[in-house]
Amino acid sequence: MSDTITIRRPDDWHVHLRDGPMLARVARHTARQFARAIVMPNLVPPVTTVEQAGAYRERIHAAAGPGFAPLMTAYLTDRTSPEELSRGQEEGVWIAAKLYPAGATTNSESGVTDIVNIRPCLERMQQIGMVLCVHGEVTEPDVDVFDREAVFIERILEPMVRDFPALKVVLEHITTRQAADFVASAPANVAATITPQHLHLNRNALFAGGLRPHAYCLPVVKREEHRLAVRKAAVSGSPKYFLGTDSAPHAREAKESACGCAGIFNAPFALESYAAVFEEESALDLLEGFASHHGADFYGLPRNEGTVTLQRTEVVVPAEIDGLVPFHACESLSWRLAG
């Protein structure tokens, strides 16, 4: 068995880099692992204008240093104008727009309250080939939190894909068999990102020996049956599934709290975490497609030049990195990204 894996430089198609002091702490971890990343716009206030996104991109450049390209997204609200989306795309600022159902997750209060409100935007995006990134969960309080993704697919996503058949849609951070099946049977303009945590954890992990705030993210991890379905999709070799870490750092106090924030900080060992899964599934030869080809191809961007190498070496993930608790804290992983 080989002791190194060399793949084309990968990208992260879904990450939260935050702003201010948190951005300064986390940006270099993503930049070390990835050439490009799609940066989520759920700041306070949300990134809704081309000017805000351009300025945020500059702050990311300053924090991450050279050699890393942040790709910016527009935060859709009930009032987003199609013109703002077109303008940002023409100016080379937006790569995609993000649909947060209002109240679905962190800083989604300004999100979309009814999908009808963004129909003109979806129409325009379909026309100009702009990707829609979707947080796929309904927010109705009578829907069980573990069912919110499956219900979203049924009530919102299926009709949307039918009504906008040429719209490019990425269902983000899929967590269920229903999501994996929906994407598999949808046309080629519908894809999904998959996080490391949804490949490693099932919902038992939330309660293993006590309440585990660092395993809490949204969409929440699901039953084992669903984890296995998402794993199967990730290692299927299908170009519809690609890497999106959803690394979402929160201060330790905000996680370890009576009302802890959702989000897992997985950036420092992201590739290593995915490699562990692909190895367990005897699919290391498919890691490169998932990490470095499928996303770029879907977004219509060139694949990166250059390569990265993972070396087989046991590494224990620190309990804390820059004051944050990383995914896999205190666990041992068997690959490490060289350099």
Residue among 214 and 240 whose Cβ is closer to ligand DOR = 214
Near ligand DOR by CB under 6 A: residue from 106, 175, 176, 245: 106
Shortest reach from residue 137's CB to ligand DOR, in Å: 8
Residue 137 is a binding residue for Zn ion (CB under 5 A): no
User: Closest approach of Cβ 41 to Zn ion, in Å?
Assistant: 10
What is the DSSP pairing of strand 94-99 with strand 131-134? Answer: parallel
Candidate list 78, 114, 246, 322, residue with the active-site label: 246
263 part of the interface to ligand DOR, by CB under 6 A: yes
Least distance (Å) from ligand DOR to the CB of residue 273?
16
The interface mask with ligand DOR, positions 110-149, x = CB under 6 A, is -------------------------x--------------
Name the residue with the smallest CB distance to Zn ion.
Answer: 246
Beta strands at 241-243 and 169-171: parallel, antiparallel or unpaired = unpaired
Q: Which of residues 37-76 bind ligand DOR (CB under 6 A)?
A: 42
Catalytic: 246?
yes
Exposed, middle or buried, 202 (CB in 10 Å: 0-12/13-18/19+)? middle
- Contact residue for ligand DOR among 48, 52, 105, 193 (CB under 6 A): 105
Question: Is there binding between residue 11 and Zn ion (CB under 5 A)?
Answer: no
Residue 217 binds which entry of Zn ion, ligand DOR, none, CB below 5-8 Å type-dependent? ligand DOR
Q: Taking CB under 5 A as the criterion, which residues in 232-261 touch Zn ion?
A: 246
Residue 149 makes contact with Zn ion by CB under 5 A: no
Dihedral pair phi/psi, residue 294, rounded to 5°? -60, -40
Provide the edge-to-edge strand list for the sheet that holds 190-194.
Answer: 11-15, 36-39, 69-75, 94-99, 131-134, 169-171, 190-194, 241-243
| Torsion, CA 217, CA 219, CA 221, CA 227, rounded to 10 | -130
How near is the Cβ of 98 to Zn ion at its closest, in Å? 9
In the numeric block, the tokens 């309904």 are attached to 138
Size of the site for Zn ion (CB under 5 A): 1
Q: Smallest gap, in angstroms, from Cβ of residue 42 to ligand DOR? A: 5
Give least dist CB 101 to ligand DOR, A.
10
User: Taking CB under 6 A as the rule, does residue 218 contact ligand DOR?
Assistant: yes
Residue with structure tokens 């060139």? 302
* 198 part of the interface to ligand DOR, by CB under 6 A: no
Q: Which is nearer to Zn ion, 12 or 246 (CB)?
A: 246
171 beta partners:
134, 192
Residue closer to ligand DOR (CB basis): 8 or 98: 98
Where in 235-254 is the site for ligand DOR (CB under 6 A)?
248
251 vs 333 by CB, closer to ligand DOR: 251
Q: Is 262 in the site for ligand DOR (CB under 6 A)?
A: yes
Count of residues engaged in binding ligand DOR, rule: CB under 6 A: 10
From the list 136, 206, 146, the residue with the least C-alpha distance to 174 is 136
Sheet with 332-337, edge to edge strand ranges: 4-8, 307-316, 332-337
Q: Applying CB under 5 A, which residues contact Zn ion?
A: 246
Task: Please list the active-site residues.
Answer: 246
Q: Applying CB under 6 A, which residues contact ligand DOR?
A: 16, 42, 105-106, 135, 217-218, 248, 262-263
